[in-house]
Amino acid sequence: MRSATIGVIGASGLVGREILGWLRRFRYPAESIRALASERSAGQRLSLDSQDWELEALTEERLEGLDLALFATEVTVSRHWVPLALRHGVRCIDSSSAFRRDPSVPLLIPEINGEQLASRPSLVASPNCSATLALLALAPLHRAFGLESFSVCSYQAVSGVGTGGLRALAQERENSEKFSEIFPDRIDQNVLASLGEILPNGFTSEEEKMAHESRKILGLPALRVMSTCVRVPVERAHSLAIQAHFAKPIDRAVAEDALRHAKGLRYTPEHLPTPLRCARNEDCFVARLRLVPPGGVESSKAQDVLLWVVGDQLWAGAALNVVRLVNLLLRG
């Protein structure tokens, strides 16, 4: 059987490049992979892990030749090209937020709800990177104790907005007068509690994604989610301080066991995960598990848990999720 032809759309971007890298690390043959990008980037060569890729302009004809299209594109690009690809019978995985809230499109994290691939959907959405990291840590505890609500405060790296974020931080570090327009204010030596646009209810689009995507992925439409998403002057890897409330009383040994045996997760009670240490790592790291008994009564059983979660949002939070979905789709 010939191997499926896989197209990575948006291959010149940070997530697109990481998807290409992970396809090769999972031994998909280079000759079956196409690197597609905008007209602007077409013709450029991309060197990744001693592999050379030529970026081809995305056209309807080139789309048609694919078996599987992996979109690592802006929401407007996905909105235009994903329906075209589907019309040509190309199966799609989209990393943008374009289709995540569409009830007919499964939103999948293989370690959590990958079984939904059994219905062979033609389009799968891959979730927001912060939501992915939060859910990798919460899902094992949810299975054990029943998640009722959670709150997140994030410490998100500048590469979350792509290469422009990295460039902005580097430029600001070199020149203290400079400030890039990619963020709402200077990011070097600063923190910015505003990611994406501010919605009428006061939450940002990034905070809304955390809520909606968590409900959909865990299949808990009434799940209460509150978050404050914050950009920090870190190059790579997002950190999350999570507080979660569960239906059942929490046994520490059971909770630790659940975290220790979860796929894609590494529980490190002895070592503090930091973005510098977790960057370019496949796993999402969790530590600082704290059980909080109700009403300050130390003897009663806790139903609240605090966690510190750190993961490379380009790997554990994005590219690896897509490539693990590819593995399930093509290798079963």
If the CB atoms of residues 25 and 290 are measured against its own copies, the closer one turns out to be 290
Listing DSSP states for 75-137 in one string gives: HHHHHHHHHHHHHTT-EEEE-SSTTTT-TTS-B--HHHHGGGGGG--SEEE---HHHHHHHHH
Nearer to its own copies, 47 or 201 (CB): 201
Tokens of 91: 């199966």
Q: Give the closest residue to 125 by CA, choosing from 216, 239, 210.
A: 216
Residue 5 carries which DSSP code? P
Evaluate whether 244 touches 304 at the Cβ level (below 8 Å): yes
Pick the closer one to its own copies by CB: 8 or 305: 305
Shortest distance, position 128 Cβ to its own copies, whole Å = 18
Using CA atoms, how far residue 238 sits from 51, 235, 290, in Å, is: 28, 9, 20
Report residue 202 as tokens. Answer: 């006061």
Considering only the stretches 69-77, 119-127, 130-138, 201-209, report the one whose residues sit in contact with its own copies under the rule CB under 8 A. 201-209
Binding mask 292-311 for its own copies (x = CB under 8 A): x-xxx-------x-x-x---
* Residue 89, CA atoms < 13 Å, CB-side half-sphere: 4
Closer residue to its own copies in complex, CB, 30/198: 198
Strands 68-71 and 6-9: parallel
Site for its own copies contains 246 (CB under 8 A): no
* Tokens (6 digits) for 155: 């410490």
With tokens 């409330």, the residue in question is: 245
* For helices 252-261 and 129-145, angle between their N-to-C axes, nearest 10 degrees: 130
Among residues 273, 274, 275, the alpha carbon closest in space to that of 287 is found at 273
Residues 251-290: x where in contact with its own copies by CB under 8 A, - otherwise, as a string = ---------------------x-xxxx----------xxx
Shortest approach of its own copies to residue 232 CB, angstroms?
Answer: 6
CB of 305 to its own copies, least distance (A): 10
Q: Under the criterion CB under 8 A, does residue 203 sit at the interface with its own copies? A: yes
Catalytic annotation present for 92: no
Question: Which one of 92, 142, 229, 238 is the catalytic residue?
Answer: 238
233 binds its own copies per the rule CB under 8 A: yes
DSSP bridge partners of 119: none
Judged by CB under 8 A, the number of residues near its own copies is 45
CB of 1 to its own copies, least distance (A): 46
Q: Quote the CA–CA distance of 218 and 210 in Å, as a whole number.
A: 12
229 counts as catalytic: no
- Please name the residue that has the structure tokens 């291959």: 11
Strand partners of residue 9:
36, 71
Applying CB under 8 A, among 25, 80, 143, 173 the residue interacting with its own copies is 173
List the interface residues with its own copies, window 107-166 (CB under 8 A): 151, 153, 155
Nearer to its own copies, 33 or 289 (CB): 289
**For binding to its own copies (CB under 8 A), which residues are involved?**
151, 153, 155, 173, 184-186, 189-194, 201-203, 222-224, 226, 228, 230, 232-235, 239, 241, 243, 272, 274-277, 288-292, 294-296, 304, 306, 308
Active-site residue set: 129, 238
